[in-house]
Amino acid sequence: MTAVLTRICEKRFMPLVELRGVGKVYQLGSTQVEALANIDFQIKAQEFAAIWGPSGSGKTSLLNLIGLIDSPSGGEIYLGGERVDGLTDDELARRRNQKIGFIFQHFNLVPVLDALENIMLPLQIRGVRADQAKAKARSRLREVGLEDQWNKRPDKMSGGQRQRIAIARALVGDPALVIADEPTANLDSATSRLIVDLMRELNRRDQVTFIFSTHDPRLLEHVDRRVRLEDGRIVATE
């Protein structure tokens, strides 16, 4: 009984994401570029955190590592207590699909699929039955306020609408973590504000952990925690 309680407590207070001494070095021809150096960093469950800093500070590199779409040159990465930096490509794909949602700066919707089909995509990759995936996708579409746009393809939507579709897609698989890389960079300030509000609302309501990168100081006032990166190093956490 004690052991079970210990595990529950450990799990409850365990960081959702933990990086220990993580570094990332890119090889550009004969030159090595150190994008990240000795990063120690934790994200707790249900946090709404921002990584910010100037261009080239390593924000995207850090999110790529947390999102398991890139591998570190050194250090350890834990997701939900599981060390993930040594997993095979297929295992990483499965973790991404089941535990992580992505929101990209350029929206990255599949152009030949309509809004609903784009949102269904992570579930269909997971192997969920089409009718169940459709019902779930409709529900997420409703949450982002685009239910009437379900059959529109991305090229017929505004930037804000596309990003809302991307948010619905990121959340449709009920991930533990949503990673958003510069989600408002291609949007006007009013739409940016709406997008951040929407993410914040979903974070509070669904208790989903959000971590996003930005260099827009106006968005930082909405976050629980700000992590400032400079030259591939964490220089401040507020």
Partner 1 sequence: MMNFIKLGWRNILKNRRRSLITVLAVALGFASINLFSGYIHNVYDGLAEQAIRGEGLGHLTLMKPGLLKEGKLEPEKFLLKSDEIQRITGLLSQDETVRLVTPRLAVSGIVSNGKVSTIFLGEGMVPEDMAVIRGDFRADRGGALDRARPAAAAFASDLADMLGLKQNDYAVLVASTVEGLTNALDVDVGELYNTGNAGTNDKMLLLPFAFAQRLYDTEGADRLIVLLRDRAQTFEAQLRLSEKLRAAGLNLEIKTWLELSSFYKQVKGLFDMIFAFIFAIVIVIVMMSIINTMSMAVVERTREIGTLRALGMRRWDISWLFSVEGVLLVVLGGLVGVALTLVLAWVVNQAGFSYVPPNNTDAVLLQVDVVPWVMLQAFLFLGLVAALAALLPARRAARMVIVDAMGHV
Tell me which residues touch partner 1 (CB under 8 A).
64, 67, 69-70, 89-90, 93-94, 96-98, 102, 104, 106, 108, 110-113, 117, 121-122, 124-126, 130, 169
Closer to partner 1 at the Cβ: 29 or 111? 111
Helix/strand/coil (H/E/C) assignment for every residue in the chain: CHHHHHHHHHHHHCCCEEEEEEEEEEEECCEEEEEEEEEEEEECCCCEEEEECCCCCCHHHHHHHHCCCCCCCEEEEEECCEECCCCCHHHHHHHHHHHEEEECCCCCCCCCCCHHHHHHHHHHHHCCCHHHHHHHHHHHHHHCCCHHHCCCCHHHCCHHHHHHHHHHHHHCCCCCEEEEECCCCCCCHHHHHHHHHHHHHHHHHHCCEEEEEECCHHHHHHCCEEEEEECCEEEEEC
Q: How far is the CB of 94 from partner 1 (least distance, A)?
A: 7
- Specify the residue, 127 or 217, whose C-beta has the smaller distance to partner 1: 127
Q: Minimum Å distance from CB 211 to partner 1?
A: 15
Smaller CB distance to partner 1: residue 68 or 187? 68
Shortest separation between residue 140's beta carbon and partner 1, angstroms: 14
Q: Which is nearer to partner 1, 26 or 206 (CB)?
A: 26
> From the CB of 9, what's the least distance to partner 1, in Å?
31
Cβ proximity to partner 1, 134 vs 223, nearer residue: 134
Our CB check for partner 1 shows the closer of 14 and 71 to be: 71
CB of 102 to partner 1, least distance (A): 5
CB of 8 to partner 1, least distance (A): 28
